[in-house]
């Protein structure tokens, strides 16, 4: 009887108390996102319901970039769903530390023997877990860490996508306003051509050119409005919003392109320690390495000591074990080794991809920044001056309307190209931050550049001049 009490008590102690609560894991993920994306996130929102953003209040007075990032990181349903992967990994970690349930057997002899010892019972517990559980928990912990890093990396990607979509929307809005202003200019040119035709100072050709320019300006404005709507709907999807696009009023301008010459080597080194997907790949390698050790320790799959007793009072120890004669777990050990090699190669491939992607992103970013500064500082001011001169010559009768229309078209093209260049420059910053998993000030610090970004003002020279 004493043996039964000791065995049962030991099994109850081994059962312990395990619960699955991933709240601390969510907090770790939020801290990683804060360091990489520059925005604090609380997820899932069911954990801290008071942190849910008030969408109507945010949209009331215009949507800033900072508000967009907050909405994306806290309201995007895809990211909210990804956080559940952390809960699953936490549950796997808890499961990895649990012992298997004990086995109980009962046998009754029929017919009953003369001595009435017709009942035999036994209880046993597989003790293989004593040397398997530590390795199994280590593998599950690495898998949990990899899940946390993967979700945080997804959030960083979402933040970069949100910045890019925001800049696309801002740029599309600028192009639409330029197109609307171009309609007004084209209308004034048409009125001037009609007046000169009535006065007999110009012919039907000038009037037809002016009419064609006005119609073309209206068509271009419609296209620009459609592009803006498409950009805002794309942003709404990232923010997890179902509102109509006209409710999104973007209040931040396109930023000035930085004046920096970036060196790829320190940026690549920064990315190697900052990229959350690379760190997740490192954790996956360690998890695979632990699984190799786990399979090696699982050669003996069942060693179950226990106690047996016979009615009425006979009792004694028992043991059951599976002899590793035919199956010595060699296939599973080999499989685990192949998975380890695969994880290592996948990590190496990811590091190579990241390295080359960063170098390409750096070249693209610096080129876009130079192009944007060239348009703003040189090309757009030149075309503005050319339009003003052509309008003055047309009023004085020294040139035809065709020259004015060509100057107007050149300015419109320059302004559109300037906006596109500013868009590309701003998106390049987002892409660079995505590639490195760090904000631009940190990247500039790593390359030794001054930690400075020019004032984010947008110069939008008017295409309208004096009435021709």
- Which one, of 179, 215, 239, 248, lies nearest residue 419 by Cα? 179
Q: What is the mean pLDDT of the chain?
A: 80
Per-residue pLDDT at 88 exceeds 60:
yes
Cβ 93 vs Cβ 136: under 8 Å: no
- Which one, of 46, 405, 17, lies nearest residue 210 by Cα? 405
Of 199-213, 384-398, 411-425, where does mean pLDDT reach its minimum?
A: 199-213
Query: Given this model, what pLDDT does residue 266 score?
Result: 87
Higher pLDDT among residues 202 and 360, named by residue: 360
Average pLDDT score over residue span 265-281: 88
Give the tens place of pLDDT for each residue, 156-198: 899 999 999 999 999 999 989 888 888 887 888 788 788 878 8
Per-residue pLDDT at 48 exceeds 70:
no
Residue with tokens 């074990």: 321
Query: Given this model, what pLDDT does residue 46 score?
Result: 53
Give the tens place of pLDDT for each residue, 202-222: 778 878 888 888 898 899 899
**% pLDDT > 90, the chain:** 18
Of 3-17, 114-128, 133-147, 247-261, where does mean pLDDT reach its minimum?
A: 3-17
- Neighbour tally for 305: CB within 10 Å: 14
Higher pLDDT among residues 196 and 236, named by residue: 236
Q: How many alpha carbons lie under 13 Å from residue 29 in its C-beta half-sphere?
A: 35
User: What domains are defined for the chain?
Assistant: 2-447 (1.20.1600.10)
- Which one, of 228, 224, 222, lies nearest residue 169 by Cα? 228
- Which one, of 411, 409, 415, lies nearest residue 385 by Cα? 411
Average pLDDT score over residue span 398-404: 77
Query: Given this model, what pLDDT does residue 346 score?
Result: 94
Average pLDDT score over residue span 262-281: 86
Query: DSSP state, 247?
Result: G
Query: Given this model, what pLDDT does residue 400 score?
Result: 75
Give the tens place of pLDDT for each residue, 69-83: 888 888 888 888 888
Q: How confident is the model at residue 11 (pLDDT cuts 50, 70, 90)?
A: very low
Given its phi and psi angles, is residue 53 left (phi above 0), alpha (psi -120 to 50 degrees) or beta? beta
CA angle 406, 408, 411 (to 5 degrees): 110
Task: Write the DSSP assignment of 173-238 as a string of letters.
Answer: HHHHHHHHHHHHHHHHHHHHHHHHHHHTSS-HHHHHHHHHHHHHHHHHHHHHHHHHHHHHHHHHHH
State both tokens at 419: 């906006």
Per-residue pLDDT at 101 exceeds 90:
no
Query: Given this model, what pLDDT does residue 282 score?
Result: 92
Average pLDDT score over residue span 288-315: 77
Per-residue pLDDT at 5 exceeds 50:
no
Q: How confident is the model at residue 248 (pLDDT cuts 50, 70, 90)?
A: confident
CA pair distance 317, 305, nearest whole angstrom: 7
Query: Given this model, what pLDDT does residue 234 score?
Result: 92
Per-residue pLDDT at 93 exceeds 50:
yes
Q: Say how many Å lie between the first and final Cα of the chain, rounded.
A: 112
Query: Given this model, what pLDDT does residue 238 score?
Result: 92
Cβ 186 vs Cβ 107: under 8 Å: no
């Amino acid at each position: 009887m004493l043996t039964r009490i000791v065995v049962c008590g030991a099994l109850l102690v081994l059962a312990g108390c395990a619960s699955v609560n991933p709240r601390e894991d969510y907090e770790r993920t939020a801290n990683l996102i804060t360091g990489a994306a520059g925005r604090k996130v609380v997820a899932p929102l069911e954990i801290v319901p008071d942190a849910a953003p008030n969408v109507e209040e945010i949209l009331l007075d215009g949507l800033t970039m900072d508000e967009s990032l907050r909405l994306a990181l806290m309201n995007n349903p895809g990211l909210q769903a990804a956080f559940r992967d952390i809960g699953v990994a936490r549950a796997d970690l808890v499961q990895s530390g649990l012992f298997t349930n004990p086995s109980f057997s009962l046998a009754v002899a029929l017919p009953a023997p003369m001595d009435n010892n017709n009942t035999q019972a036994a209880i046993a517990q597989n003790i293989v877990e004593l040397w398997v559980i530590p390795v199994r928990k280590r593998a599950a912990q690495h898998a949990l860490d990899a899940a946390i890093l993967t979700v945080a990396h997804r959030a960083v990607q979402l933040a970069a996508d949100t910045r890019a979509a925001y800049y696309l929307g801002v740029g599309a809005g600028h192009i639409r306003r330029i197109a609307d202003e171009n309609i007004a200019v084209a209308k004034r040119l048409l009125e001037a051509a009609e007046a000169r035709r009535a006065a007999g100072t110009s012919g039907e050709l000038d009037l037809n050119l002016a009419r064609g320019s006005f119609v073309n300006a209206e068509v271009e404005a419609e296209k620009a409005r459609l592009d803006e709507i498409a950009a805002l709907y794309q942003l709404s999807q990232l923010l997890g919003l179902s509102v109509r696009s006209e409710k999104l009023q973007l209040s931040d301008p396109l930023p000035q392109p930085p004046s920096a010459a970036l060196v790829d080597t320190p940026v690549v080194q920064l990315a190697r320690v900052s990229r959350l997907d690379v760190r997740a790949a490192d954790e996956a390698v360690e998890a695979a390495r632990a699984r190799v050790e786990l399979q090696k320790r699982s050669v003996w799959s069942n060693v179950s000591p226990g106690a047996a007793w016979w009615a009425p009072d006979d009792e004694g120890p028992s043991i059951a074990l599976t002899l590793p004669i035919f199956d010595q777990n060699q296939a599973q050990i080999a499989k685990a080794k192949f998975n380890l090699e695969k994880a290592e190669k996948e990590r190496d491939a990811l590091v190579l991809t990241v390295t080359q992607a960063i170098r390409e992103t750096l070249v693209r970013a610096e080129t876009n920044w130079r192009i944007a500064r060239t348009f703003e500082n040189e090309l757009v001011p030149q075309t503005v001056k050319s339009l003003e001169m052509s309008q003055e010559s047309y009023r004085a009768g020294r040139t035809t309307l065709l020259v004015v229309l060509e100057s107007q078209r050149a300015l419109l093209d320059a302004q559109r190209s300037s906006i596109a260049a500013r868009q590309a420059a701003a998106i390049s910053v987002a892409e660079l931050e995505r590639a490195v998993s760090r904000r631009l000030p940190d990247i500039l610090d790593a390359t030794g550049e001054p930690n400075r970004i020019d004032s984010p003002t947008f110069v939008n020279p008017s295409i309208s001049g004096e009435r021709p």
